[in-house]
Amino acid sequence: PDSSHGFCGAALSANVIHFWKSKEGKWEWEKIIDVENEPHPDWPIPVPGVMSAILVSMDDKYLYINNWLHGDMRQYDISDPHKPKLTGQVWMGGLLGKAPEVNGVKIAGGPQMYQLSLDGKRMYVTTSLFSTWDNQFYPEIRKQGGAMIMIDCDVENGGMRINKDFIVDFGKEPNGPSRCHESRYPGGDCTSDIWL
Protein backbone atom coordinates (compact mmCIF):
# COMPACT_ATOMS: atom_id res chain seq x y z
CA PRO A 1 0.00 0.00 0.00
CA ASP A 2 2.96 2.36 0.43
CA SER A 3 4.15 1.97 -3.16
CA SER A 4 3.17 4.58 -5.72
CA HIS A 5 3.87 2.20 -8.63
CA GLY A 6 0.97 1.05 -10.76
CA PHE A 7 0.28 -0.55 -14.13
CA CYS A 8 -2.44 -0.32 -16.75
CA GLY A 9 -3.01 -2.19 -19.98
CA ALA A 10 -3.97 -0.78 -23.37
CA ALA A 11 -6.21 -3.35 -25.05
CA LEU A 12 -5.91 -2.82 -28.80
CA SER A 13 -2.26 -1.76 -28.87
CA ALA A 14 -1.36 -4.49 -26.32
CA ASN A 15 0.89 -2.26 -24.23
CA VAL A 16 1.47 -2.08 -20.51
CA ILE A 17 2.02 1.36 -19.01
CA HIS A 18 3.92 1.75 -15.73
CA PHE A 19 3.22 4.88 -13.66
CA TRP A 20 4.75 6.09 -10.41
CA LYS A 21 5.29 9.18 -8.28
CA SER A 22 8.79 10.62 -8.56
CA LYS A 23 10.91 11.84 -5.64
CA GLU A 24 9.86 15.35 -6.63
CA GLY A 25 6.20 14.40 -6.20
CA LYS A 26 5.38 14.41 -9.93
CA TRP A 27 3.55 11.57 -11.64
CA GLU A 28 5.65 9.86 -14.32
CA TRP A 29 4.83 7.11 -16.81
CA GLU A 30 6.50 4.86 -19.35
CA LYS A 31 5.55 2.07 -21.73
CA ILE A 32 7.24 -1.08 -20.41
CA ILE A 33 5.66 -3.89 -22.46
CA ASP A 34 4.77 -3.78 -26.14
CA VAL A 35 3.26 -6.90 -27.73
CA GLU A 36 3.89 -6.79 -31.46
CA ASN A 37 1.04 -7.36 -33.92
CA GLU A 38 1.35 -10.67 -35.78
CA PRO A 39 0.76 -11.35 -39.50
CA HIS A 40 -2.19 -13.60 -40.39
CA PRO A 41 -3.02 -14.89 -43.90
CA ASP A 42 -6.74 -14.14 -43.50
CA TRP A 43 -6.33 -10.60 -42.17
CA PRO A 44 -5.65 -7.48 -44.25
CA ILE A 45 -3.60 -6.06 -41.35
CA PRO A 46 -1.42 -7.70 -38.68
CA VAL A 47 -3.43 -9.16 -35.78
CA PRO A 48 -3.19 -7.19 -32.51
CA GLY A 49 -2.90 -9.07 -29.23
CA VAL A 50 -6.01 -7.49 -27.65
CA MET A 51 -4.93 -7.45 -24.02
CA SER A 52 -8.22 -7.42 -22.14
CA ALA A 53 -6.88 -7.64 -18.58
CA ILE A 54 -3.77 -7.36 -16.42
CA LEU A 55 -3.19 -8.74 -12.94
CA VAL A 56 -0.48 -8.31 -10.29
CA SER A 57 0.30 -11.09 -7.81
CA MET A 58 -0.33 -10.40 -4.12
CA ASP A 59 3.40 -10.13 -3.41
CA ASP A 60 3.83 -7.57 -6.23
CA LYS A 61 6.44 -9.80 -7.88
CA TYR A 62 4.61 -10.88 -11.04
CA LEU A 63 2.47 -9.12 -13.62
CA TYR A 64 0.22 -11.26 -15.83
CA ILE A 65 -1.23 -10.27 -19.20
CA ASN A 66 -3.38 -11.99 -21.80
CA ASN A 67 -3.51 -11.64 -25.57
CA TRP A 68 -7.02 -12.74 -26.51
CA LEU A 69 -6.53 -12.75 -30.28
CA HIS A 70 -2.96 -14.12 -30.28
CA GLY A 71 -3.84 -16.85 -27.77
CA ASP A 72 -1.16 -16.49 -25.10
CA MET A 73 -0.85 -15.73 -21.40
CA ARG A 74 2.35 -14.12 -20.13
CA GLN A 75 4.05 -13.75 -16.77
CA TYR A 76 6.54 -10.93 -16.14
CA ASP A 77 8.80 -10.47 -13.12
CA ILE A 78 8.27 -6.84 -12.05
CA SER A 79 10.74 -6.79 -9.13
CA ASP A 80 12.16 -3.83 -11.04
CA PRO A 81 8.93 -2.19 -12.29
CA HIS A 82 10.90 -0.17 -14.87
CA LYS A 83 12.34 -3.32 -16.49
CA PRO A 84 9.88 -6.25 -16.52
CA LYS A 85 11.33 -9.64 -17.46
CA LEU A 86 9.25 -12.22 -19.34
CA THR A 87 9.42 -15.34 -17.15
CA GLY A 88 6.56 -17.45 -18.50
CA GLN A 89 4.28 -17.86 -21.51
CA VAL A 90 1.65 -20.46 -22.43
CA TRP A 91 -0.67 -20.79 -25.43
CA MET A 92 -4.37 -21.68 -25.62
CA GLY A 93 -6.63 -21.13 -28.61
CA GLY A 94 -6.20 -17.80 -30.36
CA LEU A 95 -6.04 -16.89 -34.03
CA LEU A 96 -2.34 -17.68 -34.52
CA GLY A 97 -2.92 -21.44 -34.34
CA LYS A 98 -0.14 -22.20 -31.83
CA ALA A 99 -2.37 -24.23 -29.47
CA PRO A 100 -5.73 -25.09 -31.05
CA GLU A 101 -6.22 -27.87 -28.46
CA VAL A 102 -5.56 -27.98 -24.73
CA ASN A 103 -5.82 -31.25 -22.80
CA GLY A 104 -7.75 -32.84 -25.66
CA VAL A 105 -10.32 -30.05 -25.96
CA LYS A 106 -10.46 -27.86 -29.06
CA ILE A 107 -10.35 -24.26 -27.85
CA ALA A 108 -12.70 -21.69 -29.38
CA GLY A 109 -11.60 -18.24 -28.29
CA GLY A 110 -8.45 -17.18 -26.53
CA PRO A 111 -7.31 -16.45 -22.99
CA GLN A 112 -9.57 -13.70 -21.69
CA MET A 113 -10.51 -13.38 -18.01
CA TYR A 114 -8.20 -14.94 -15.46
CA GLN A 115 -7.98 -15.24 -11.73
CA LEU A 116 -4.94 -15.93 -9.56
CA SER A 117 -5.01 -17.68 -6.19
CA LEU A 118 -3.84 -15.73 -3.15
CA ASP A 119 -0.62 -17.78 -2.99
CA GLY A 120 0.01 -17.04 -6.68
CA LYS A 121 0.34 -20.70 -7.66
CA ARG A 122 -2.94 -21.37 -9.51
CA MET A 123 -4.47 -19.35 -12.30
CA TYR A 124 -7.80 -20.14 -13.93
CA VAL A 125 -8.31 -18.74 -17.44
CA THR A 126 -11.58 -18.51 -19.40
CA THR A 127 -12.00 -17.95 -23.14
CA SER A 128 -15.09 -15.79 -23.78
CA LEU A 129 -14.75 -12.00 -23.93
CA PHE A 130 -18.10 -10.63 -25.09
CA SER A 131 -20.60 -12.66 -27.11
CA THR A 132 -20.70 -10.23 -30.05
CA TRP A 133 -16.90 -10.15 -30.29
CA ASP A 134 -16.66 -13.90 -29.67
CA ASN A 135 -19.00 -14.49 -32.62
CA GLN A 136 -17.05 -12.12 -34.86
CA PHE A 137 -13.52 -13.34 -34.16
CA TYR A 138 -14.21 -16.94 -33.10
CA PRO A 139 -17.50 -17.98 -34.80
CA GLU A 140 -16.92 -21.64 -33.87
CA ILE A 141 -17.53 -20.75 -30.21
CA ARG A 142 -21.28 -20.74 -30.95
CA LYS A 143 -21.21 -24.52 -31.41
CA GLN A 144 -18.19 -25.45 -29.30
CA GLY A 145 -18.72 -23.24 -26.26
CA GLY A 146 -15.96 -21.88 -24.07
CA ALA A 147 -13.39 -23.49 -21.80
CA MET A 148 -11.66 -22.93 -18.48
CA ILE A 149 -7.99 -23.86 -18.23
CA MET A 150 -5.77 -24.03 -15.14
CA ILE A 151 -2.20 -22.75 -15.22
CA ASP A 152 0.38 -23.72 -12.61
CA CYS A 153 2.58 -20.71 -11.80
CA ASP A 154 6.09 -21.01 -10.37
CA VAL A 155 6.29 -18.27 -7.73
CA GLU A 156 9.94 -18.96 -6.84
CA ASN A 157 11.71 -18.97 -10.20
CA GLY A 158 9.00 -17.70 -12.52
CA GLY A 159 7.34 -19.77 -15.21
CA MET A 160 3.94 -21.09 -16.21
CA ARG A 161 2.61 -24.42 -17.44
CA ILE A 162 -0.86 -25.61 -18.33
CA ASN A 163 -2.10 -28.14 -15.78
CA LYS A 164 -2.60 -31.40 -17.69
CA ASP A 165 -5.21 -32.68 -15.22
CA PHE A 166 -7.68 -29.80 -15.43
CA ILE A 167 -10.02 -28.44 -18.07
CA VAL A 168 -13.68 -27.47 -18.05
CA ASP A 169 -15.34 -27.84 -21.45
CA PHE A 170 -18.39 -25.57 -21.33
CA GLY A 171 -19.46 -26.91 -24.71
CA LYS A 172 -20.60 -30.08 -22.95
CA GLU A 173 -22.64 -28.37 -20.24
CA PRO A 174 -26.37 -29.25 -19.98
CA ASN A 175 -28.42 -26.94 -22.23
CA GLY A 176 -25.11 -25.84 -23.78
CA PRO A 177 -22.92 -25.02 -25.42
CA SER A 178 -22.16 -22.38 -22.80
CA ARG A 179 -19.53 -19.69 -22.55
CA CYS A 180 -17.52 -18.73 -19.51
CA HIS A 181 -16.37 -15.24 -18.69
CA GLU A 182 -15.07 -14.86 -15.15
CA SER A 183 -14.21 -17.11 -12.22
CA ARG A 184 -13.88 -16.40 -8.50
CA TYR A 185 -12.33 -18.27 -5.60
CA PRO A 186 -14.68 -18.89 -2.65
CA GLY A 187 -11.97 -17.91 -0.16
CA GLY A 188 -10.67 -14.90 -2.09
CA ASP A 189 -8.36 -14.20 -5.00
CA CYS A 190 -5.99 -11.52 -6.24
CA THR A 191 -8.67 -9.17 -7.58
CA SER A 192 -11.21 -9.20 -4.78
CA ASP A 193 -11.13 -8.29 -1.11
CA ILE A 194 -13.70 -10.75 0.25
CA TRP A 195 -10.95 -12.52 2.19
CA LEU A 196 -9.93 -9.44 4.22
What does the pLDDT read at residue 184?
73
pLDDT at 196: 58
pLDDT tens string, the chain, 196 residues long: the values are 678 999 999 999 999 999 999 999 999 999 999 999 999 999 999 999 999 999 999 999 999 999 999 999 999 999 999 999 999 999 999 999 999 899 999 999 999 999 999 999 999 999 999 999 999 999 999 999 999 999 999 999 999 999 999 999 999 999 889 988 777 777 777 776 665 5
What domain range includes position 128?
A: 6-172
In a domain, 194, yes or no: no
Distances (CA, A) of 27 to 6, 81, 176, 179: 11, 15, 49, 40
Alpha helices in the chain (DSSP H): 131-137, 141-144
C-beta neighbour count of 30 within 10 angstroms: 11
User: How far is 66 from 115, CA to CA, in rounded Å?
Assistant: 12
Distance CA 95, CA 46 (A): 11
Could you give the CA distance from residue 66 to residue 64 in angstroms, rounded to a whole number?
Answer: 7
Q: CATH number of the domain at 98, please.
A: 2.130.10.10
Instruction: Say if 132 falls within a structural domain.
Output: yes
Domain membership flag for residue 66 = yes
Burial environment of residue 34 by CB neighbours within 10 A (0 to 12, 13 to 18, 19 or more): exposed
Q: Show Cβ contacts of residue 17 under 8 Å, excluding neighbours closer than 6 positions.
A: 7, 8, 9, 10, 29, 30, 31, 32
* Kind plus residue range of the DSSP H or E element containing 178: none
Sign of the dihedral through C-alpha 56, 94, 179, 175: negative
Q: Is the peptide bond before 177 cis (omega within 30 degrees of 0)?
A: yes
Which of 131, 112, 10 is closest to 69 using CA atoms? 112
H-helix or E-strand spanning residue 119: none
The pTM of this model reads 0.93
User: Residue 181 domain-assigned?
Assistant: no
Q: Is there a domain that residue 185 lies in? A: no
Whether 138 is in a domain gets the answer yes
State residue 193's pLDDT score. 65
The verdict on residue 118 lying in a domain is: yes
Number of domains the chain contains: 1
Q: Is residue 122 part of a domain?
A: yes
- CA end-to-end span of the chain: 14
